[in-house]
Amino acid sequence: MPGAVETVEMQAALLRLRRTSGLPVVFGGLLSDARHARIAELNGTQTTALRGLVISAGSGLGGKAIALSRPCAVTDYASSRHISHEYDAAVAAEGLRSVVAVPVVVRRTVRGVLYGAMRTPVTLGDRTFDAVVATARDIEQSLAVRDEVRRLLAAGREQVSDPGTVPGAWEDVREAHRELRALVPKVLDPALRDELLEVCGRLASASGARAPAARDVRLAPREVDVVACVAAGATNAAAAERLGLRPETVKGYLRSAMRKLGAHTRLEAVVAARRAGLLP
């Protein structure tokens, strides 16, 4: 079932879509199971007719978009011969005529549907159509990031509880730590971001090898990210690509981290960060 965070993200996406596309009405919802989406978020509507409407795959315009996993549009909803008409009453109550529906697809699985509509029967232009598709892609990216966060959190918790003694186990822990830290800036939800950082901290201190004299070292989040990339053998350019930063910015973060850690080389910075419990 869609959670509160996904709902907030859908609301923000609809607000952006209405502003960028000029469409007077936008709405949408995420799938509750493999074949049903519930219209939970609306912007620009004048009635509550669409709220809570359950869209079945194959039914109506949105159901067609879900079933085909591609955008669908009609110039005049009520008279269209290319869709079924289970939802005509709700659509008519809101006075919608021209409608586009775009599926939200993550890793080839439909996760939701996004609509844009007008109250006049006109053909939607490419610019409007592209705006709806772009907004659906934004939601897809957000859901994909959230899926990856959940996967890595589960793996991180497992490794924190039992990092193991087999060869390569600590490299798995360190890789999980790097991947989690790289996702932190992409997570908009503060609670989930805090949870990510908490697991990162537990992974960083999982070895129990923190040196007492290094406990007061404090690095900024991006400084930790850069040192983590350096620990994996990344060059400044590679770290910049992974973190979405400029190479000059990475160099600045690394220089600052080395100063705080009392390190003169990249290797010394990694060793000092591990002794400080900042890296696993």
Q: Which amino acid is at 44?
A: G
Which of 21-30, 142-151, 233-242 shows the highest mean pLDDT? 21-30
CA–CA distance, 233 with 226 (Å, rounded to integer): 11
Decide if pLDDT at 56 tops 90: yes
**pLDDT given for residue 228 in this prediction:** 87
Cα-based distances in Å from 178 to 119, 219, 224 = 49, 15, 9
Tell me how far the alpha carbon of residue 1 is from its chain's centroid: 16
Number of Cβ atoms within 10 Å of the Cβ of 163: 17
226 Cβ partners below 8 Å, 6+ apart? Answer: 239, 243, 250, 253, 254, 257
Check whether 98 has a pLDDT greater than 80: yes
Lowest mean pLDDT among 146-155, 225-234, 244-253: 146-155
Select 2-155's CATH number: 3.30.70.1150, 3.30.450.40, 1.10.1140.10, 1.10.1370.10: 3.30.450.40
Q: Other C-beta atoms within 10 Å of 280: how many?
A: 27
Rounded distance between C-alpha atoms, residue 135 and residue 144, angstroms: 14
Please give the pLDDT value at position 207. Answer: 55
Q: Is the pLDDT of residue 178 over 80?
A: no
Residue 229 pLDDT > 90, yes or no? no
Record the pTM: 0.65
**Cα Rg for the chain, rounded, in angstroms?**
24
Q: State the sign of the Cα–Cα–Cα–Cα dihedral 113, 118, 122, 124.
A: negative
pLDDT score for 28: 95
Position 167 scores a pLDDT of 47
What token pair was written down for 129? 């159509």
pLDDT at site 84? 96
Q: What is the pLDDT of residue 46?
A: 95
Q: Which residue has the higher pLDDT, 209 or 63?
A: 63
- The pLDDT value given to residue 8: 73
How many beta carbons lie within 10 A of that of residue 178, not counting itself?
21
Residue 5 has pLDDT above 70, yes or no: no
pLDDT cut 70: percent of the chain above it: 87
| CA dist., res. 158 & res. 152, Å (int) | 10
Which alpha helices (DSSP H) does the chain contain, by range? 4-21, 60-68, 88-94, 126-161, 169-183, 190-204, 221-231, 236-243, 247-261, 266-275
* Class in CATH terms, 212-279: mainly alpha
